[in-house]
């Protein structure tokens, strides 16, 4: 069974299993303590009763066989047949051993000649005085026997945990997984919600504790959807509404500039024209960004990116004669099928080419490479230092130290569209063959699902 301690299920299973083991060991410890006390009572009672029943017999046996020759030993009826834990001695008032059992020697017990119980390191002894306190019968029980009984009882309680604890962990995990399944479903539903997926969460049978989370998230998604849609509509509508009057103003300004003869007037007109052209480019990028925000990147119909890239390169080359493009594809690559929207990919790829033409070294070629595994890279030489963290160029309106005019939206649009196509965009600084610094953008798009 695989546990994930960082997950709620893993934490619950681990915590409950540890608590189960701890409580089991505590219960076993208390049981052993109680059993040991009870065993001592049972063994002491048996020892006392055995001594009281044995005393008349051994004293009578001693009197019958007393010959004054020394300690006598009682022979065993069945030697070695069973374990014998009890031994006994008959001693006189001076402590001399007069009679003893066959499984004990003539060495007197260390217990004093005083009626009652006495405990040593390895024996528990009960003493009875008989014949007017002239003879003492002492019966000894092995403490090792008692410890063995206690140990076997403890093992009988501890061994089941080796089987029950894993079973308990499996049972706990099964119960916890079933109990937390609605939480996982809610988590999965929330995790797939992003800027391109703001659909309400529809889950049935949620527990009362988390049912309100679903409705609260749906309310938040509705408000977020309205806010994003309003933002996109504003950007798109503004770009559309401004494009026509801006184009008209640009055309009128070009006619007016052609009619001006004074140098100062012509210079002012050129600056106005440049500002209008820059504003027109920004409006075009804002319109592209609005379309990217609308989620146009993914398509269910695969297209051949190899043919599309060749077409886009040829079209771009005709309008940008000063920026030569070198297209390289892997040998034997006949097609590159990807499930993307061709218009969205054209917007993204043209932005990469425009970025390379605008910020690259003038006159240096732009290299477009297509690998056999479907990676598309656009590389250009740069004459200005690049930021150490190239990912900052993904941000909107973030431009490098170049003095060339730009909107700062190109790579942000590319990043947004490629993400919608379930792809990745990597930015890196490379060293070109002539030891100059180059800027490379790599696009990697996953193949269509079969």
In tens, the pLDDT along 92-115 reads 888 888 887 877 777 888 888 888
Higher pLDDT, 147 or 204: 147
Kindly report the number of other CB atoms within 10 A of residue 416's CB atom. Answer: 24
Kindly report the number of other CB atoms within 10 A of residue 88's CB atom. Answer: 22
Q: Give this prediction's pTM.
A: 0.49
pLDDT of residue 81: 44
pLDDT in tens, 390-426: 777 777 666 665 556 666 677 888 888 888 888 888 8
pLDDT of residue 1: 44
Spans of all domains in the chain: 8-150, 192-294, 297-444
The single residue listed with the structure tokens 């797939």 is 192
> 8-150 and 192-294: same fold?
no
Q: Which residues, including other chains, have CB under 8 Å from residue 313's CB and lie 6 or more apart? A: 325, 327, 353, 368
pLDDT in tens, 39-60: 888 888 888 888 888 888 877 7
CATH architecture of 192-294: Orthogonal Bundle (1.10)
Length of the chain: 450
DSSP state string for 255-267: HHHHH--SHHHHH
Q: Which residues, including other chains, have CB under 8 Å from residue 213's CB and lie 6 or more apart? A: 186
Q: Shortest CA distance to 358 belongs to which of 262, 281, 304, 299?
A: 281
8-150 CATH: 3.30.450
pLDDT above 80 (res 385)? no
380 near 366, Cβ under 8 Å?
A: yes
pLDDT of residue 212: 81
pLDDT of residue 311: 92
pLDDT in tens, 156-185: 877 777 777 788 778 888 888 888 788 888
The CATH class that applies to domain 297-444 reads: alpha beta
Cα separation, 350 vs 343, whole angstroms:
10
Position 295 confidence tier, pLDDT thresholds 50, 70, 90:
low
Strand 72-74 and strand 97-101: pairing?
Answer: parallel
Higher pLDDT, 389 or 78: 389
User: Angle between the 263-293 and 410-420 helix axes, to the nearest 10 degrees?
Assistant: 20
Position 19 confidence tier, pLDDT thresholds 50, 70, 90:
confident
pLDDT in tens, 230-239: 766 766 676 6
């Amino acid at each position: 069974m695989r546990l994930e301690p960082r997950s709620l299920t893993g934490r619950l299973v681990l915590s409950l299993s540890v608590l189960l083991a701890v409580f089991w060991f505590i219960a076993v410890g208390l049981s052993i303590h109680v059993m040991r006390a009870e065993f001592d009572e049972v063994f002491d009672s048996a020892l006392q009763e055995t001594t009281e029943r044995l005393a008349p017999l051994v004293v009578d046996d001693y009197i019958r066989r007393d010959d004054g020759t020394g300690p006598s030993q009682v022979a065993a009826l069945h030697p070695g047949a069973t374990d014998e834990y009890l031994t006994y001695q008959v001693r006189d008032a001076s402590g001399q051993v007069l009679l003893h059992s066959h499984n004990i020697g003539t060495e007197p017990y260390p217990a004093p000649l005083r009626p009652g119980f006495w405990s040593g390191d390895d024996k528990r002894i009960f003493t009875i005085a008989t014949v007017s306190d002239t003879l003492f019968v002492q019966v000894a029980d092995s403490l090792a026997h008692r410890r063995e009984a206690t140990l076997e009882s403890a093992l009988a309680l501890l061994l089941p945990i080796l089987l029950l604890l894993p079973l308990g962990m499996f049972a706990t995990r099964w119960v916890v997984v079933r109990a937390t399944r609605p939480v996982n479903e809610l988590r999965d539903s929330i995790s797939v919600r992003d800027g391109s997926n703001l659909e309400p969460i529809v889950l049935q049978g949620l527990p009362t504790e988390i049912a309100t989370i679903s409705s609260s998230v749906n309310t938040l998604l509705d408000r977020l959807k309205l806010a994003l849609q309003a933002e996109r509509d504003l950007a798109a509508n503004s770009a559309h509404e401004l494009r026509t009057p801006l184009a008209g103003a640009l055309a009128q300004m070009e006619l007016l500039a052609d009619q001006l003869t004074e140098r100062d007037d012509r210079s002012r007109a050129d600056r106005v024209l440049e500002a209008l052209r820059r504003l027109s480019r920004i409006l075009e990028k804002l319109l592209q960004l609005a379309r990217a925000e609308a989620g146009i990147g993914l398509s269910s119909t695969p297209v051949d990116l190899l043919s599309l890239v060749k077409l886009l390169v040829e079209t771009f080359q005709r309008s940008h004669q000063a920026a030569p493009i070198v297209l390289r594809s892997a040998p034997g690559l006949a097609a590159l099928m990807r499930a993307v929207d061709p218009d969205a990919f054209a917007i993204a790829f043209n932005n990469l080419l425009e970025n390379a033409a605008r910020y690259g070294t003038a006159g240096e070629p732009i290299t477009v490479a297509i690998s056999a595994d479907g990676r598309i890279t656009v590389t250009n030489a740069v004459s200005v230092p690049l930021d150490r963290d190239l990912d900052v160029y993904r941000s909107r309106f973030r431009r490098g130290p170049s003095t060339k005019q730009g909107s700062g939206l190109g790579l942000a649009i590319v990043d947004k569209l490629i993400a919608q196509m379930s792809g990745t965009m990597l930015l890196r600084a490379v060293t070109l063959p002539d030891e100059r610094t180059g800027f490379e953008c790599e696009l990697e798009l996953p193949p269509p699902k079969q």
